[in-house]
Homo-oligomer: A and B are copies of this chain.
């Protein structure tokens, strides 16, 4: 089959590789129908050191079950499934607590012998726990929408949920990529009436306005912070959803959060150390939360609601 491999910064190739096969009795093989390039793929695209053997890519896909191992009971050949961006057993205590990204027997795609979703087919470990079956199969017109449940919508939703967004909170969303825009949508669904979207791509921020953003701030850095503060009587917003992952976005976040508020990060941080002292988080009692979304939990609920 063909699969996408990355060999270094900017060096992406479609190569021929052996078809995936069942290795464990809990595996499934899924034929990929639609797959995504994620904002987080841009990080290795910019920074991956030379990797002669190549690195498999992709962690968001939907497709059709082609084969299942003998211990797979919830899925059959022909089922249409959504794969979340982490695989998980669905039975451990973390999975039962809806923190599938910390599953005791799970992991992320493109690591430890598990390949990626930017390929014609994928071996899926812990298939019963990982895959979400779409009841009644997939309407082709819905494929792009279903694909958002693999990562970006669950991630935007996770940001808003962990941030405690409600009708009582004002919200700033940092980033106008797919996750940022779906964080706007989720914030609106959680009832927020004031949603400030920080982004500078007009076509995207226009979509953000359609999704519920009430204000758009194109400026960045000190100027962007000033603008958001100006829109909020100098205070900033109760919740900030950070959907980028670079340090300037984090600096933006603590610059526009209201005292007592919450910064909820879902952009994968491209930094390790960052300011969290008296002047940034501690003094104003700001909470920092977020992480990789348990998309499996959210998508499982939403598709159950479709039945």
> Which residues on the B side are within 8 Å of A101 (C-beta)?
283, 285
Stoichiometry (number of copies): 2
Tell whether, in the assembled complex, residue B268 and residue A102 are in contact, meaning their CB atoms are under 8 Å apart. no
Interface of chain A: mostly helix, strand, loop or mixed: mixed
A2 to B210, CA, bound (A): 65
Tell whether, in the assembled complex, residue A290 and residue B284 are in contact, meaning their CB atoms are under 8 Å apart. no
Min C-beta distance of A54 to chain B, whole Å: 23
* A-side interface residues, number (CB < 8 Å): 33
> Which residues on the B side are within 8 Å of A287 (C-beta)?
162, 287-289
| Interface of chain A residues 272 through 304 with chain B (CB within 8 A) | 272-292
Tell whether, in the assembled complex, residue A282 and residue B268 are in contact, meaning their CB atoms are under 8 Å apart. yes
A280 to B276, CA, bound (A): 13
A260 to B99, CA, bound (A): 7
Min C-beta distance of A49 to chain B, whole Å: 18
Tell whether, in the assembled complex, residue A99 and residue B285 are in contact, meaning their CB atoms are under 8 Å apart. yes
| Interface of chain A residues 215 through 266 with chain B (CB within 8 A) | 259-260, 265
> Which residues on the B side are within 8 Å of A291 (C-beta)?
281-286
Could you list 19 examples of A-B contacts with CB < 8 Å?
Answer: A94-B260, A101-B283, A101-B285, A162-B285, A162-B287, A268-B278, A269-B276, A269-B277, A269-B278, A273-B274, A273-B276, A274-B276, A282-B292, A284-B291, A285-B290, A285-B291, A286-B291, A287-B288, A287-B289
Q: Which 8 interchain pairs have the tightest Cβ spacing?
A: A285-B291, A102-B259, A272-B277, A287-B289, A288-B288, A99-B260, A273-B273, A269-B277
